[in-house]
């Protein structure tokens, strides 16, 4: 564990800790402690420094802990889904599991990190990944069929995310095609799938989930779209380890059900959660934009858009959908 992680683990309780105490515990000089504090602040961690008292966090942080996550998983499932890997920092949890999949890693592995240096979203976008407050989770699953049989899987995974958010008391969370979780038009979470397999199977799938749990104002200013977080909505702290465990369980239930029935098992749930269903939308594509009415999705998870008196189907790819202002 590096010095950043060590100091954050000490400060996680939200209490004051003197510079001398931190220096002694970490084997640093007082100036060395200050440099680590500055590094944490540059990563989005709000640390107060008060002369005569020391340092404390603006809010306590529950750091991710493998043993706590596993205990919570066991309380929800009769069988354990797979290995849980918790990292301090990595470029991308999706990339980590994609590399593991080529080494015949067991299906069911979950990777989490406190911070990502190169988190990715759809269409090559960067996923802003500040330290210690959010959920950056990726899972490896192996399906017997080929990639063509996995149409709609990202939508089904998004439903699992919303289920857990509902369980934590946010009942008005909804979905925007293909896999964004929204609250009042603000993005709360997103899903990114990476698929690799032969046409006849088997197929390795890495499901990446990013969820805003706590977003400091400085971080929100870096994001080019309206966003929100679980704690901003609830007005209280979230037990991240319990949240992650429930998310792992919900996602694995989705994979198991999808293996049996495909997206047809989830289509009605998607329609119920679609925040733009039967509303006018803008669909942005490389070849140009169209305006129409969102008529939901079909059995493949393709978006159904009505315009010029007809309904057309669109798969995700390089598409982006936006609701029109009423």
> Out of 163, 187, 214, 240, which one is annotated catalytic?
187
For residue 311, give Cα distances in angstroms to 38, 219, 273, 303, 325: 55, 40, 21, 10, 22
With beta carbons less than 8 A apart as the criterion, state whether 182 and 193 touch. Answer: no
Whether residue 122 lies in the annotated active site: yes
Whether residue 43 lies in the annotated active site: no
> Out of 95, 120, 122, 214, which one is annotated catalytic?
122
Q: Distance (Å, rounded) from C-alpha 209 to C-alpha 124?
A: 15
> Out of 30, 53, 123, 322, which one is annotated catalytic?
322
| DSSP E strand boundaries for 258-326 | 280-285, 288-297, 303-307, 310-314, 320-323
Whether residue 322 lies in the annotated active site: yes
Length of the chain in terms of residues written: 326
Q: Distance (Å, rounded) from C-alpha 275 to C-alpha 108?
A: 31
Q: Distance (Å, rounded) from C-alpha 192 to C-alpha 281?
A: 22
Cα dihedral 298, 301, 307, 310, rounded to 10, equals -30
Helix 153-167 with 240-261: angle, nearest 10 deg:
140
Which active-site residues does the annotation give? 122, 187, 322
């Amino acid at each position: 564990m590096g010095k950043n992680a060590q100091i954050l683990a000490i400060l996680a309780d939200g209490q004051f800790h003197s510079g001398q105490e931190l220096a002694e515990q970490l084997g640093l000089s007082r100036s060395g402690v200050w440099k680590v504090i500055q590094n944490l602040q540059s990563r989005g961690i709000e640390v107060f420094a008060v002369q005569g008292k020391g340092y404390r966090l603006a809010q306590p942080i529950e750091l991710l802990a493998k043993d706590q996550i596993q205990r919570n998983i066991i309380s929800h499932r009769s069988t354990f889904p797979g290995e849980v890997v918790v990292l301090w920092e990595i470029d991308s949890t999706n990339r980590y599991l994609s590399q593991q999949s080529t080494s015949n890693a067991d299906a069911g592995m979950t990777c989490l990190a406190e911070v990502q240096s190169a988190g990715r979203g759809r269409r090559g976008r960067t996923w802003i990944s500040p330290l210690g407050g959010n959920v950056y989770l990726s899972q490896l699953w192996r399906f017997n069929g080929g990639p063509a049989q996995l149409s709609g899987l990202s939508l089904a995974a998004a439903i699992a995310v919303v289920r857990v958010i509902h369980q934590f008391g946010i009942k008005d969370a909804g979905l925007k095609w293909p896999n964004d979780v929204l609250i009042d038009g603000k993005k709360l979470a997103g899903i990114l799938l990476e698929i690799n397999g032969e046409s006849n199977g088997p197929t390795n799938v890495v499901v990446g989930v990013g969820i805003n749990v706590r977003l400091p104002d400085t971080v929100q200013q870096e994001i080019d779209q309206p966003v929100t977080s679980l704690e901003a909505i609830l007005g209280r702290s979230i037990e991240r380890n319990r949240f992650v465990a429930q998310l792992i369980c919900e996602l694995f239930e989705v994979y198991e059900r999808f293996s049996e029935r495909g997206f047809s098992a989830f289509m009605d749930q998607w329609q119920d959660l679609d925040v733009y269903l039967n509303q006018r939308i803008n669909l942005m594509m490389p070849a140009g934009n169209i305006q129409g009415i969102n008529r939901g999705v079909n059995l493949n998870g393709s978006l159904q858009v009505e315009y010029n008196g007809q309904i057309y189907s669109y798969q995700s790819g390089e598409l982006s959908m936006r609701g029109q202002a009423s």
